[in-house]
A and B are shown apart, each in its own frame.
Chain A
């Protein structure tokens, strides 16, 4: 349950981002919440992490297009043309399970780096840390999508890490 509804800061907290990642998974008919859904959720925010992603062309629409491109290429690798979205419309389960890639991304994120900071600031930075955790994956859907979209993943990670190490003034 969200326990910081009274948060004065406009920055998204990791908890809000994770709830929004579940929504992304449901909307896409995914049986599990994966790293790409978390990335979409972070990209739809206007906080430091969201802005940094947008600088690299990865606002929500940018991530969405990159993911779509990756799936189309991967299906074509198996000789399959994309299927029209209207043929895939279905009522979704309200609770997708947690996928391995999102667990792995959150495990990779180093949330302990900001232990000494104020809680609001820690929560703000946690979103950038989660983004780094997602982008550090070298194989799988997200790195493929970014590679095909021409995004310099290493430069993006470096930029997010510098955001994450800035002190709040």
Chain B
């Protein structure tokens, strides 16, 4: 059987590309939203609760980046 050569802009490709675009958008929106919340004084626990993930997960993912941003982070367990 000859392997099919799908078009890059066909309906299946559109759905798969939508997944890529949504992931990218979700990642960027998360970075921006977490940073904004922390700048206005939210704690890691509050951000984690709002995102529905553990405090450890959100800390691990964003803490270095927010340190680079120079955001004064509220103390542990706050």
Partner-B contacts on A (CB < 8 A): 29-31, 70-71, 73-75, 77-78, 80, 83, 87-94, 138-141, 143-144, 147-148
Q: Which residue among B6, B14, B19, B34 has the maximum number of chain A CB atoms within 10 Å of its CB?
A: B14
Do the beta carbons of A77 and B18 come within 8 Å of each other? yes
Q: Is the CB of B69 within 8 A of A144?
A: no
Kindly specify which of B41-49, B50-58, B60-68 makes contact with the partner chain: B60-68
Name the CB-closest residue of A to B27. A31
Contacting pair A90 B20 (CB below 8 A): no
- B32 contacts A by Cβ under 8 Å: yes
Further contacts, 4 of them, CB under 8 A, given A90-B35, A141-B17? A88-B32, A90-B34, A92-B31, A148-B9
Q: In the complex, what residues of B have CB within 8 A of residue A92's CB?
A: 31, 65
Given A75-B22, A77-B14, A77-B15; A91-B9 close (CB under 8 Å)? no
Contacts of B13 in A (CB 8 A): 139, 144
Q: Please indicate the chain B residues that have their CB under 8 angstroms from the CB of A94 in the complex.
A: 68
User: How far does the Cβ of A84 sit from chain B's closest Cβ, in whole Å?
Assistant: 11
Contacts of B29 in A (CB 8 A): 83, 87-88
Interface positions of B (Cβ within 8 A of A): 5-6, 8-9, 13-15, 17-22, 24-25, 27-29, 31-32, 34-35, 64-66, 68-69
Contact A139 B65 (CB under 8 A): no
Q: Are B32 and A139 in contact (CB under 8 A)?
A: no
From known contacts A70-B17, A144-B8, A144-B13, infer whether A75 and B25 are also in contact, taking CB-CB under 8 Å. yes
* A140 to B22 alpha-carbon distance, docked (Å): 14
Which A residues touch B65, using CB under 8 A? 90-93
A-B contact list, 17 entries, CB within 8 Å: A30-B24, A70-B17, A74-B20, A83-B29, A87-B29, A87-B32, A88-B29, A91-B35, A91-B65, A92-B65, A138-B6, A139-B8, A144-B8, A144-B9, A144-B17, A147-B8, A147-B9
Q: Which residue of A lies closest to B5 (CB)?
A: A138
Chain B residue at minimum C-beta to C-beta distance from A29: B28
Known contacts being A30-B24, A144-B8, is A90 close to B31, with CB within 8 Å?
yes
